[in-house]
C-alpha cells in the first residue's frame, strides 16, 4: 500500500520530538515490504535522509503549473474549478493588479516566488496559521499529482493538509495524535488550535494516539468515538555511534540532566526545586537544563534566586552531537513533564545507559518498567530518587543494565506493524 504522509518537521531540522517520531515511524514502515511512504513537509532543506522514503517539500511544488495540467485532463475539471480560485502572485504590485481584475468572491490569493512556489519557513513562527493554510492548499495539489492508497497526517499542523488531500482524492485519512493542545497549553487551550485538531480527528477514518493517556484526552476532550481511536506507542531509533569523537567529561562530579523545551508542559520548575533540595544534601553534583523555550528566562531567574547558579547550568538548544555528549556525561536523567503524550527522550537516555526518572503524567511511563516514576508535582519524591540513584551504586547499576535491555526491545518496527493494522482497517 502507498501512504501519503503529511508532517511538519523532519530530521535533521527538528525542534522537538515530533520530527524524531515521524522519522522513526517511517523507517519502521519502510522495513515492511508492502508499505511505501511518501513524506511531505512544508519545507525541504535537501539534507534529509531520503534512503527509505520519498520526501516532498511543499515549498518545491509550483502552484500554477498544476492548473495547466488540470486543464488538459477532462476528468479532473471539477477540481480545476476549486483550484482556479487560487491566484498566485509574487509581489505587492502584482497582487494589486490581479486583485483589480474581476474574480469570483471566494478567490484566494497566495504569494509565491518566481517559480510560482509558495515559501514556507517550516518553523513555528508568528505566521503559523497562515502557513498551515498554505500547506493545506499545496497538499491538495500534491494529492493530485501522486498515486496513493491512504493519507496519514501527523499532528494538528498537518491535519488541514490531510483533510485537503482527502477531499481531493477521496482516499481514507488517518490522523496521528502526538500531542494535543491540552498538553501544550497546560489547560488554557487555544480555541483556533482546538478547532483544527477536532476537525482533523472528526474527518479522519482512524485516529492513532501515542499513548493511552492521549487516547483518553482525545475521547474525553475532543469527543471522538472510542471505536475510532487506537493507541500505538512510540519506540526509539538505535543511536548510531557515528561522530564517535566524544570529548571527555571534564568534571569529576555527578550530572543530573533535564532535556526538552523549557515550557510549562515540561515542568522545568519542578526540576529546579528538586535540584535545590538535592544540593542541600550533597555537593558533588551539577544540574543541567538543556533546551530552550519561553520559560527559560524565568527559570534562570529562579535558579539565581535560589542561589544555586554555580551548580545549575543552562546550555540552550542542543544539536544531536551535543545531546549524545551530554548523555555520556549524565548520571541521572529526569523528565518531570506535567503532561507528556509520549516522551521519547527518556528512551534515548536509556540507550546511553542512563537511569531515568519520569513523571506518571507521561505516555512513556505506560511502556517502561525499569524507570523511577513519580508525580511531576512531587518534588520531594523527585529529589529523593535523584539522591538515591546518585548515592547507591547498586540502584543505578540496576537501572543502567535493565533499562538498556528494556529499551533495546522497543523497536519502531513493532510500532510500524501496529500502524499497518490501522491502515488495513481503513482500507477494508
User: Least distance (Å) from another protein to the CB of residue 340?
Assistant: 24
CB 8, CB 18: distance < 8 Å? yes
- Residues between 279 and 308 that touch another protein (CB under 8 A): 286, 288, 296-297, 300-301, 304-305, 307
Pairwise CA distance, residues 144 & 4, whole Å: 11
Give the interface size with another protein as a residue count (CB under 8 A): 25
How many C-beta atoms lie closer than 10 Å to residue 103's C-beta? 14
User: Least distance (Å) from another protein to the CB of residue 261?
Assistant: 16
* 263 counts as binding another protein under rule CB under 8 A: no
Closer of 79 and 314 to another protein (Cβ): 314
- Residues between 168 and 197 that touch another protein (CB under 8 A): none
Closer of 108 and 305 to another protein (Cβ): 305
From 313-321, 361-369, 391-399, 403-411, give the range in contact with another protein by CB under 8 A. 313-321
User: Least distance (Å) from another protein to the CB of residue 287?
Assistant: 11
* 250 counts as binding another protein under rule CB under 8 A: yes
* 311 counts as binding another protein under rule CB under 8 A: yes
Closer of 5 and 288 to another protein (Cβ): 288
Closer of 43 and 286 to another protein (Cβ): 286
Of 126, 240, 252, 394, the one binding another protein (CB under 8 A) is 252
User: Least distance (Å) from another protein to the CB of residue 313?
Assistant: 5
How many C-beta atoms lie closer than 10 Å to residue 19's C-beta? 20
Of 242, 310, 319, 428, the one binding another protein (CB under 8 A) is 310
From 88-96, 234-242, 320-328, 371-379, give the range in contact with another protein by CB under 8 A. 320-328
* 248 counts as binding another protein under rule CB under 8 A: yes
* 352 counts as binding another protein under rule CB under 8 A: no
User: Least distance (Å) from another protein to the CB of residue 283?
Assistant: 8
Closer of 85 and 304 to another protein (Cβ): 304
Of 81, 294, 322, 397, the one binding another protein (CB under 8 A) is 322
Closer of 32 and 306 to another protein (Cβ): 306
3-class SS letters over the chain: CEEEEECCCECCECCCHHHHHHHHHHHHHHCCCCCEEEEEECCCCCCCCCCCCEEEEHHHCECCHHHHHHHHCHHHHHHHHHHCCEEEECCHHHHHHHHHCCCCCCCEEEEECCCCEECCCCCCCCCHHHHHHHHHHHHHHHHHHCCCCEEEEEHHHHHHHHHHHHHHHCCCEEEEECCCHHHHHCCCCCHHHHHHHHHHHHHCCEEEECCHHHHHHHHHHCCCCHHHEEECCCCCCCCCCCCCCCCCCCCCCEEEEEECCCCHHHCHHHHHHHHHHHHHHCCCEEEEEEECCCCHHHHHHHHHHHCCCCCEEEEECCCHHHHHHHHHHCCEEEECCCCECCCCHHHHHHHCCCCEEEECCEHHHHCCCCCEEECCCCHHHHHHHHHHHHHCHHHHHHHHHHHHHHHHCCCHHHHHHHHHHHHHHHHC
Closer of 295 and 358 to another protein (Cβ): 295
From 51-59, 68-76, 129-137, 242-250, give the range in contact with another protein by CB under 8 A. 242-250
- Residues between 35 and 94 that touch another protein (CB under 8 A): none
Please give the residue ranges that form the binding site for another protein (CB under 8 A).
247-252, 286, 288, 296-297, 300-301, 304-305, 307, 309-311, 313-316, 322, 325-326
Amino acid at each position: 500500500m502507498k501512504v501519503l504522509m503529511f508532517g511538519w518537521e523532519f530530521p535533521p531540522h527538528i525542534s522537538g520530538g515530533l520530527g524524531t517520531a515521524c522519522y522513526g515511524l517511517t523507517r519502521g514502515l519502510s522495513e515492511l515490504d508492502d508499505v511505501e511512504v511518501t513524506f511531505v513537509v512544508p519545507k525541504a532543506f535537501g539534507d534529509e535522509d531520503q534512503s527509505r522514503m520519498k520526501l516532498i517539500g511543499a515549498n518545491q511544488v509550483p502552484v500554477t503549473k498544476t492548473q495547466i495540467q488540470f486543464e488538459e485532463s477532462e476528468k479532473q475539471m471539477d477540481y480545476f474549478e476549486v483550484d482556479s480560485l487560487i491566484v498566485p502572485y509574487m509581489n505587492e504590485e502584482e497582487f494589486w493588479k490581479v486583485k483589480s481584475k474581476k474574480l469570483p468572491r471566494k478567490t484566494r490569493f497566495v504569494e509565491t516566488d518566481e517559480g510560482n512556489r509558495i515559501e514556507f519557513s517550516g518553523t513555528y513562527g508568528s505566521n503559523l496559521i497562515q502557513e498551515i493554510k498554505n500547506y493545506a492548499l499545496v497538499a491538495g495539489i500534491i494529492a493530485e499529482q501522486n498515486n496513493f492508497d491512504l493519507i496519514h497526517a501527523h499532528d494538528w499542523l498537518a491535519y488541514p493538509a490531510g483533510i485537503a488531500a482527502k477531499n481531493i482524492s477521496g482516499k481514507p485519512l488517518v490522523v496521528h495524535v502526538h500531542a494535543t493542545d491540552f498538553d501544550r497549553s497546560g489547560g488554557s487551550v487555544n480555541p483556533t488550535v482546538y478547532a483544527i485538531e477536532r476537525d482533523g480527528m472528526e474527518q479522519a477514518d482512524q485516529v492513532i494516539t501515542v499513548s493511552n493517556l492521549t487516547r483518553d484526552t482525545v475521547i474525553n476532550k475532543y469527543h471522538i468515538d472510542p471505536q475510532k481511536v487506537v493507541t500505538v506507542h512510540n519506540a526509539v531509533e538505535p543511536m548510531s555511534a557515528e561522530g564517535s569523537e566524544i570529548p571527555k567529561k571534564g568534571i569529576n562530579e555527578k550530572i543530573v540532566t533535564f532535556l526538552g523545551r523549557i515550557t510549562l508542559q515540561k515542568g522545568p520548575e519542578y526540576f529546579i526545586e528538586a535540584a535545590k533540595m538535592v544540593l542541600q544534601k550533597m555537593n558533588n553534583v551539577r544540574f543541567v537544563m538543556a533546551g530552550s523555550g519561553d520559560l527559560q528566562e524565568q527559570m534562570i531567574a529562579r535558579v539565581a534566586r535560589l542561589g544555586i547558579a554555580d551548580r545549575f547550568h543552562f546550555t540552550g538548544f542542543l544539536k544531536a552531537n551535543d545531546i549524545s555528549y551530554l548523555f555520556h556525561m549524565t548520571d541521572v536523567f529526569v523528565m518531570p513533564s506535567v503532561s507528556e503524550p509520549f516522551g521519547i527522550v527518556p528512551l534515548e537516555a536509556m540507550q546511553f545507559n542512563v537511569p531515568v526518572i519520569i513523571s506518571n503524567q507521561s505516555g512513556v511511563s505506560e511502556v517502561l518498567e525499569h524507570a523511577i516514576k513519580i508525580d511531576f508535582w512531587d518534588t520531594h519524591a523527585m529529589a529523593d530518587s535523584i539522591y538515591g540513584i546518585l548515592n547507591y551504586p547498586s540502584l543505578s547499576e540496576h537501572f543502567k543494565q535493565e533499562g538498556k535491555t528494556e529499551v533495546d526491545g522497543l523497536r519502531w518496527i513493532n510500532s510500524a506493524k501496529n500502524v499497518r493494522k490501522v491502515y488495513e482497517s481503513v482500507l477494508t
